Structure 1
Amino acid sequence: MLAVDSARVKTGTICLVGKHMEAHTPFLQVIMCVLDGVIIAELSSLRRGPGDEPVDISKFFSVFCLVASGFMAVIALLFMTNSTQQLHLGSVARRDLGLDTLMASVSIACAKTLLTSLHPTMVAMLATGLTLFGYRFRLLDSSLILPPLSQAYILQTAAVTTGLAGAWFAMAFYSKSASRSPTTVLLHRCLVLGYLAAVGLILTFSIFFSTSKIHGSLPASIRRLTHAAQSSAEQWESQAKMSKTLDEAVMQYQNRHFLPPPPNFDKWYEFATNRSSQVIDSFGQIFDDLIPFWGLEPAEIRARIAHLVEFPELGMAALEIRNGTLRQSPHIPGTHHWMTDSIEKMMQPFIQYLPDMDFVINLADECRVLPPYEEIWDLRPKGRAAQNKVAQRWKDLQENKDVEGGPFRTWTDNTEWPQNFSEPRKNPDDSFASSSYFVDNIHKQLYYDWIADACPPDSVARKSRWWDWSTLCMDCTKPHSELTTGGIVMARNPPPQGICYQPDLAYLNGFVRSQTQATTKKLFPVFSQARVDGFADILFPSPWNFVDKTEYREDTDIEWGRKGNNLFWRGSSSDGIARDGAWKGFLRARAVHESYQETKKSSRDAITPGVNVSFAGEIHRCDSPDCGQEFEMFNLWSGGVKLEDAEESEGHDLDKASAPFEEHWRHRHLIDMDGAGFSGRFIPFLESHSLPHRAALFLAWFDERLQEWQHYVPVDSRLGRGFWAVLDFLSSNEVVVDDAGFKQTGNEMAERIAEQGRDWAKKALRKEDMQIYMFRLLLEYGRVVSDDREALGYTGTRIQQR
């Protein structure tokens, strides 16, 4: 048990305290071990019989196993009948279940054979010992993210393990058992030698390959990451605005995308430069979002748009542009009119330059479109081929060849758009009908049934399943992390499709574990404010930020030196719908739980900054049993924090933990976390003098403009020891020296990152930048959905041939 526990890194998944069944889990595990021992002993006595004469109990053993299996099947059936969750086993799950069953059967058969001549205690020790050490050996790489073991601990463990191994070895060879067959003796000795070999390997690894030799210094790692981030950010910023004139911008467009710009590109360029845009040439996110739609015929795209319009129940808003005027669908819910009104306000300065089009806005925070990998893999080459036709047309025109249809032209009226919004489809009872393409996944886990299908066939998501969501998946963190003496540190954001090698996130994110909106596997052109890897929603700037739903005001902020050296967060438990205990793995719940543990540490030397993190307000989005559990835990956690000017009060009250949004600016460190969707606080956090620590699975339109460790501190959504170690260092006066001899404390590094993020946000994440992005996006989208898209292009200047 010690070996297994030393190889396990917890994810922060919550175990309830108080009068809950989960609190008795360790006791129940001990009871199960005792019962296993009793069963083995009784089977052994039956096997031996009176006078140690062997007795054939195969029939009894078979009946016993069948009865036990039947009993477990009845319990499982009752659970599935009474539970809201259904048991869905995919191919990977069935494979793992089959392998586990086979291994268990072989183990039982071996134990049954050995019981003929060995004491049952010896059989149990051999079986469990090999299992435990096998598990420990497989997870030896976990030592990379565990604290280095002390020499005293290694010596104590070596002494105890060697003593136990010696006792078992002696008992095995000097037991007063009956005569044994050569096969049994050989099997027995192989097991004993295998056991001793496993012990030897573990001790050798622990003594001669100490983790302290392979860990990097946490301060040095952070210093190196910030240096690399600065270089990357400067490089991106320089290539984002290479063009100084319209002609240069047109040429950059052609060189990067092998296409002429869309019509009215000059109007966009004038709009962007008049607003001092720091980004003129780098809009790769837009092209990545739209390339699959180039693989569809424009008429097919418009048909899919029309389908979305016919089903208001999907929670989407249809907008149409006709002759430079925007109209909103009459079927938009009143609670969400603020979103479409904000979008209309965002588009007002440039709408006269847009072609006629219809587009659909997702009113929910969650992304909705998740096509299978094979479909996107097929559409992207088709999209590139469609773009190549435009490129070839331009090349032919440059070479003065005759081209059907003549030169490129501006927006045309050849594309037919409906004059009025389609009437919604309705059921016989006059309620809105539901689209057959969208599946209601409320309360269901998305990863293995949906997200995995959007991953490559050879990806981890398709080939394996992570079952233990209380234990860290080391292989899932390695591609984007660094191993330090303080723990595992998130070095960079995961690459595209990074979620495909992180199957443990199936249970560690509220959206993935228990989302609240219908999802489709068909490629619909849905505009969303944010999306998770694998989804194909088209990103656009969030109305939430455009109209300052969470507003940053300069006059409410204070300088870094006057802020409290604290980590601060207030929010609601809105990760997903809590049912059947799913909330225990949600990101926000785990963050608040770990923060509470930090505030209750007996020794405050373990962490430098204060921790002021709590849920506040009403508990919602949960089933009745889970609501009760959440309320009990959240109230407990809220008692671990209070605002500096709050009055002392007895007991815990979530309402008293509430704080105005401006309270954030009194603290140096702010943690930003996804809820059921993206976080609307991140841009205000960047604009402030505080340092945002960002734990995000959702990507937004601005992510290509930001550089982790330059503008903010990235946080792995698994949290854990590395996160707190980074916070500890960035809140301290510990000095780190770089290769050039430059000295800087952790606190000074944190302030520098905060100011760099603030300066860049004020240059590149303004409301004007949202409008510039939206203008560019709709110009590109307008060309994609036009029947004349192969002949549409900017015609105001001569584009140079590459």
Structure 2
Amino acid sequence: MASGATGGSQLSAFCAVASFLWLGHSIESHQLIEQPRVSSILVLLTAGAFSYAASYIWQWLPGSNGRFDDEGGSLRPAPASLPKRPRRYFLPLLIAAIIFRLELFHRVTADLQCSSPGVEAFLPLVILFYELLPGRRARVGSSSTKDFEQENDYGRTIVDDIVDWLTESKQSVAISTFFISLGAYLASSQDMRSTYICTSFDNSALVRSLQWLGLLLDGVIVILLWRVLAWARTNKSRLVSLSVVFLASAVGSGFLYSSLRLFLPSAPLSHHFKGIDSLYVFDVITDGFAVAVLFVSASLLTTEKTPLSLVGIFTFISGLVVGWGKLKITGGAENTMHGVAYLAIVLISLGTSLFVYANNVQRVALIHRTILVAFMFISLVLATIIAISHNRNDYVFAHPIETLISKARTHGDRYLTHAAVSKSLPVAVNEYKIRYGGRDPPPKFDEWYKFAVDHKSPIIDEFDQIVHDIRPFWGVSPSKIREDIQRVAKEPGIALLKVANGTASHSLSRDTENAQAMVELVKMVNKFAQHLPDMDLPINLDDRPRVLPPWEDVRRFTEKAKQKGFGNKLPSVGKRDGDTEESTPLPLDLQQQTSSSISVRKYQELTALTCPPGTATRAGIHWDVRDFCLSCVRPQSRGSGIFLADFAKSQSICHQSDLFHLHSFFFTSPSSPPLHDLVPVFSRSKTSSYSDILIPLPTLDEVLHKANTQPDTSDFDLKTPALYWRGAQAEKPNDEMLHGGQQERLVHLVNLNSSSSRETLMLVPQNDMRSRAAYERVPTSYLNFLLPFDIGFSSVSSSSSAPSSHPNQFTVTKPPSPHPLQNQYILHLDPPFSSSAAGSGSGGNPSFLSTLLSTSVPFSSSLFTHWYSSRLTPYLHFIPVDIRFQGLHATLAYFTGMKGKASAADRLGNTKGAMINGREVRLKSRLDEAKWVAEQGMKWASRALRKEDEEVYLFRVCLEWGRVVQDGRDDLGFVNEKNKGAKKEAKKVEG
């Protein structure tokens, strides 16, 4: 980035660019972002220490007056390129500006969901404005002597005049800078927004004002830093000054941080913080070193050019990288804006080519400007080719949901065949051994088989969920398991189910809240208890699961289980990714965590530790709540990331770190802390992070209302064509829940008014070819007007200020329908979670199983699995929806279609089609497919999710568990007269 730069200056430029790229690429994945205030102070201190250390080896550093240059002694700056001498108050003013700028940054990131992306791209224009102010020194390359010579050169042509204008005029500088800034802004500002809520209480106008104020401060800091460092007499004094700026800024920021903590303890000052560990210290050191390299390298170039050259090149590099990242995406959510990405690359390429000549930049790092311009031309050509090819590939000829439904039919047929291979007991025994590593079935397997056949169970062989849940306990000794059971039974919210002498009983007294649920469970067990050995089962009565051991522990016990007879042919239900890391102990602060309470921060860290090393969630908590996380949804989605293709994968948090901000389960402190060790607990539901053993345990609400539940057999065509949901807000919702709670985001999203700028991705038919469709962004408020939503809170918490402080979000309350199943579509979410209670009830929504057994179509957006989850096939028995709701509108529109409605926004009153993006679009409804899904779900639920199927599943769990807790379990297996010839008969059947 130098005019006539020597080798040292070129190396300085290369170091500056390399450190800038490294910081931009890596800092978002570091732990530092979780505690930005503390981290920024420590990084500044580290950068100051490195800068000061560099001042002792200044002779060996590249750049002016350094080892690689011929000049020595004091610097002899070129007056035409340097500013006026700095005033004495510039240094303290610079330090104050940095401290204030950091505070603005922290305030904006605290409400990041309300900020505007891409504002930083306009920093070159701020610097340009300063350079064009009256009184500034003449730019390099312009002189009165040269102007006089040009005026008297009668051989000049108009081409010479154009070249001189392009390379030396202020207009060319302004145009090139504007192109670069606009291109970088377009490249970075077109991301889809997440559904994390920016409410009127957050004051988005103030947040955006702080962003622009921060941009102006960035310009002030760059200019002051340039003016202070450019006139330093030697490299040593320059580096000492830079270290003083870093260290003083760190001390000032620390003092401000401490003062705010002292006088405003309730202010939201930081994100959740894991604490200072070795990895955090490593991130601080590496980022501090990178910051020091960036500023030291830039400071060594201060005598070469103006700050506009440095800032412009950095903006061009970041903008081009982001622009190409957007342009190359095919089939992703951002691909709908590839035209904007292409325009961004065009502007940046043209702007950069002009910029390096207008600012007399001979080299960018080690690349000569001629080569750089050639590269920009190649980039422009390639971008044009890709944009044209992407435009041809944008069209979809088969709707993704149509394809998913077709595949679901095939999967359902294969599952049914796989789940009921056995037609006799000997075949069932042999099938068990084949599926589960050669191990014999548990004792009394013949009684279970008879029980299942007598109850007409359609599932005989496929119980992978049970084997997956119990498998790690084969790596724990029976005596240790029995000891853990007695210890766990003393935990709050856990009851003990005892089986002794062929009879089941429970440990709760009659007046206990959940006693009736345990009574129902005991009734089920007593139907087959005479076939069970004596054993105890700790039953979790909370809605939240309880067992949350680290991934390393689960893997270690699973490996031990494999060594004791469990082969490689084992089920992968709920499998945790990765299988190569060795066990590591739980951090000491987590081992010492008391059982009486646990903070949200500790709870999130425990959850992250259940993921394999190297996964996104294990690496750190997602911080960008403003933008839609495409990388999080891509593994389980198709169709621009909006249609959910793999429902099971969408329930795993390990590759979806953004879920920590999108579900109350993760940002509310549990009333009963999770158990950190692998201990036996039986629960009704769990997320992929937990190691509870699933059983069909009725909820208290189901027990109380079971007698009043009547099956719905009404005609689907006569039902109201609307997507229905009601919910009651959790008690005492915290601030995070009001912004990111699953229910809160849903109500906010489908009730946006016309003033909202939010857009939703839709698959829109193209009128020029009826079978062709393309993804387009459509105003969400208009889609809410077109689509039949009947969604709202039945009540909100009276203990919070939510209705008054968040009016746009919580005034949408609707009474629950007396007959909710009279709607064609019923949406089901996870219950709300809060620190004070598991939730506030269903709020008038029918249960998921009730909807399955009805003629309505269940829509499900859930992170929780139940005993029956593996028996259901998405798009065959229900319609899955991603928890972010980015595909909710498009999915509902597939079934209901979209018709025009007469309104103030559509005065013509379309009846044939809806007006989308300025044209009439006809999106037909697919009621036949919706009706088919409803029928398939109802038929299958009436066959495989009956009360009898719960008993068959529970019997199988108890048989498997009864063997695990007995001494000598490795030698226990099903052996009697009936199956002595099992192998012989099985071979005959197979033959």
Amino acid aligned to 1:597: L
- Structure-2 change in CA distance of 1:228 and 1:602 (3 Å): closer
- Asked if residue 685 in structure 1 is aligned to residue 851 in structure 2, the reply is yes
Contact preservation (8 Å) 1:54, 1:116: no
- Asked if residue 573 in structure 1 is aligned to residue 713 in structure 2, the reply is no
Give 2:273's match in structure 1, choosing from 87, 97, 113.
87
- Asked if residue 305 in structure 1 is aligned to residue 461 in structure 2, the reply is no
TM-score by length of 2: 0.65
Contact preservation (8 Å) 2:408, 2:874: yes
Cα distance, 1:302 vs structure 2: 0.3
Contact preservation (8 Å) 2:345, 2:380: no
Corresponding position of 1:64:
245
Corresponding position of 1:767:
947
TM-score by length of 1: 0.79
Cα distance, 1:682 vs structure 2: 1.8
- Structure-2 change in CA distance of 1:268 and 1:185 (3 Å): closer
Give 1:453's match in structure 2, choosing from 609, 632, 635.
609
Amino acid aligned to 2:545: C
Take 1:768 and 1:363, find their aligned partners in 2: how far apart are those partners?
A: 22
Corresponding position of 1:725:
890
Between 528-537 and 372-381, the greater mean CA deviation after superposition: 372-381
- Structure-2 change in CA distance of 1:798 and 1:218 (3 Å): same
What is the number of equivalent residue pairs in this alignment?
Answer: 713
Corresponding position of 2:194:
11
- Structure-2 change in CA distance of 1:106 and 1:749 (3 Å): farther
- Structure-2 change in CA distance of 1:603 and 1:40 (3 Å): closer
- Asked if residue 672 in structure 1 is aligned to residue 672 in structure 2, the reply is no
Amino acid aligned to 1:45: R
Instruction: Give the secondary-structure state (helix, strand or coil) at the position aligned to 2:653.
Output: helix
Take 2:297 and 2:402, find their aligned partners in 1: how far apart are those partners?
A: 55
- Asked if residue 238 in structure 1 is aligned to residue 417 in structure 2, the reply is yes
Give 1:355's match in structure 2, choosing from 517, 520, 533.
533
Take 1:711 and 1:770, find their aligned partners in 2: how far apart are those partners?
A: 18
- For residues 142-291 of structure 1, the aligned pairs below 5 Å read 144-146=331-333, 148-149=335-336, 157=344, 160-161=347-348, 164-165=351-352, 168-173=355-360, 187=365, 201=379, 204-205=382-383, 208-209=386-387, 211-215=390-394, 217=396, 219-257=398-436, 258-291=438-471
Corresponding position of 1:647:
none
- Structure-2 change in CA distance of 1:75 and 1:278 (3 Å): farther
Contact preservation (8 Å) 1:137, 1:202: no
Corresponding position of 1:530:
685
Give 1:588's match in structure 2, choosing from 723, 730, 743.
743
- Asked if residue 292 in structure 1 is aligned to residue 479 in structure 2, the reply is no
Contact preservation (8 Å) 2:472, 2:561: yes
- Structure-2 change in CA distance of 1:436 and 1:606 (3 Å): closer
Corresponding position of 1:128:
315
Cα distance, 1:456 vs structure 2: 3.0
Contact preservation (8 Å) 1:558, 1:666: no
Amino acid aligned to 1:616: S
Corresponding position of 2:635:
479
Give 1:33's match in structure 2, choosing from 215, 219, 232.
215
The Cα offsets for residues 457-509 of structure 1, whole Å up to 9 and x where unpaired, read as 3444444653323323333222221134xx53211124499432222223222
- Asked if residue 636 in structure 1 is aligned to residue 814 in structure 2, the reply is no
Take 1:192 and 1:685, find their aligned partners in 2: how far apart are those partners?
A: 68
Corresponding position of 2:938:
758
- Structure-2 change in CA distance of 1:134 and 1:348 (3 Å): same
- Asked if residue 504 in structure 1 is aligned to residue 661 in structure 2, the reply is no
Amino acid aligned to 1:380: T
- For residues 776-795 of structure 1, the aligned pairs below 5 Å read 776-789=956-969, 790-795=971-976
Corresponding position of 1:715:
881
Contact preservation (8 Å) 2:726, 2:791: yes
Corresponding position of 1:180:
none
- Structure-2 change in CA distance of 1:475 and 1:760 (3 Å): same
Cα distance, 1:208 vs structure 2: 2.1
Take 1:483 and 1:247, find their aligned partners in 2: how far apart are those partners?
A: 46
Corresponding position of 1:701:
867
Corresponding position of 1:74:
255
Amino acid aligned to 1:748: D
Between 119-128 and 226-235, the greater mean CA deviation after superposition: 119-128
Give 5+ residue unaligned stretches, structure 2.
1-117, 119-184, 570-590, 757-778, 900-922, 987-991
- Asked if residue 597 in structure 1 is aligned to residue 777 in structure 2, the reply is no
Instruction: Give the secondary-structure state (helix, strand or coil) at the position aligned to 2:601.
Output: coil
Amino acid aligned to 1:88: K
Take 1:209 and 1:598, find their aligned partners in 2: how far apart are those partners?
A: 34
Cα distance, 1:76 vs structure 2: 3.8
Give the share of equivalent positions with the same residue, in percent: 25
Cα distance, 1:350 vs structure 2: 2.2
Structure number with larger C-alpha Rg: 2
Amino acid aligned to 1:672: L
- Structure-2 change in CA distance of 1:78 and 1:289 (3 Å): farther
The Cα offsets for residues 237-261 of structure 1, whole Å up to 9 and x where unpaired, read as 1221222333433333333333333
- Structure-2 change in CA distance of 1:54 and 1:245 (3 Å): closer
Instruction: Give the secondary-structure state (helix, strand or coil) at the position aligned to 2:797.
Output: coil
Contact preservation (8 Å) 1:564, 1:667: yes
Give 2:557's match in structure 1, choosing from 379, 389, 404.
379
Take 1:505 and 1:605, find their aligned partners in 2: how far apart are those partners?
A: 25
- For residues 386-535 of structure 1, the aligned pairs below 5 Å read 386-387=564-565, 438=595, 440-444=597-601, 446-447=603-604, 449-463=605-619, 466-484=622-640, 487-495=641-649, 498-516=652-670, 517-535=672-690
- For residues 302-381 of structure 1, the aligned pairs below 5 Å read 302-309=482-489, 311-312=490-491, 314-330=492-508, 334-381=512-559
Cα distance, 1:233 vs structure 2: 0.9
Contact preservation (8 Å) 1:11, 1:719: no
Contact preservation (8 Å) 1:144, 1:483: yes
Take 2:678 and 2:367, find their aligned partners in 1: how far apart are those partners?
A: 61
Amino acid aligned to 1:361: I
Cα distance, 1:231 vs structure 2: 0.8
Contact preservation (8 Å) 2:825, 2:859: no
Take 1:332 and 1:380, find their aligned partners in 2: how far apart are those partners?
A: 39
Amino acid aligned to 1:524: V
Take 2:235 and 2:688, find their aligned partners in 1: how far apart are those partners?
A: 61
- Asked if residue 104 in structure 1 is aligned to residue 276 in structure 2, the reply is no
Amino acid aligned to 1:329: S
Amino acid aligned to 1:726: T
- For residues 734-745 of structure 1, the aligned pairs below 5 Å read none
Corresponding position of 2:694:
539
Contact preservation (8 Å) 2:650, 2:863: no
Amino acid aligned to 1:205: A
The Cα offsets for residues 560-613 of structure 1, whole Å up to 9 and x where unpaired, read as 222233222111334x97445354223222222221227876874687522222
Take 1:154 and 1:435, find their aligned partners in 2: how far apart are those partners?
A: 51
Take 1:40 and 1:436, find their aligned partners in 2: how far apart are those partners?
A: 46
- Asked if residue 118 in structure 1 is aligned to residue 118 in structure 2, the reply is no
Take 1:578 and 1:203, find their aligned partners in 2: how far apart are those partners?
A: 53
- Structure-2 change in CA distance of 1:550 and 1:103 (3 Å): farther
Take 2:518 and 2:872, find their aligned partners in 1: how far apart are those partners?
A: 27
- Structure-2 change in CA distance of 1:23 and 1:732 (3 Å): same
Higher relative contact order, chain-length normalized (CA < 8 Å, sep 6+)? 1
Take 2:953 and 2:595, find their aligned partners in 1: how far apart are those partners?
A: 29
- Structure-2 change in CA distance of 1:717 and 1:165 (3 Å): same
Amino acid aligned to 2:797: I
Corresponding position of 2:791:
613
- Structure-2 change in CA distance of 1:161 and 1:536 (3 Å): same
Give 5+ residue unaligned stretches, structure 1.
175-183, 392-433, 641-653, 735-742
Contact preservation (8 Å) 2:327, 2:335: no
Cα distance, 1:290 vs structure 2: 0.9
Take 1:285 and 1:239, find their aligned partners in 2: how far apart are those partners?
A: 15
Take 1:555 and 1:633, find their aligned partners in 2: how far apart are those partners?
A: 41
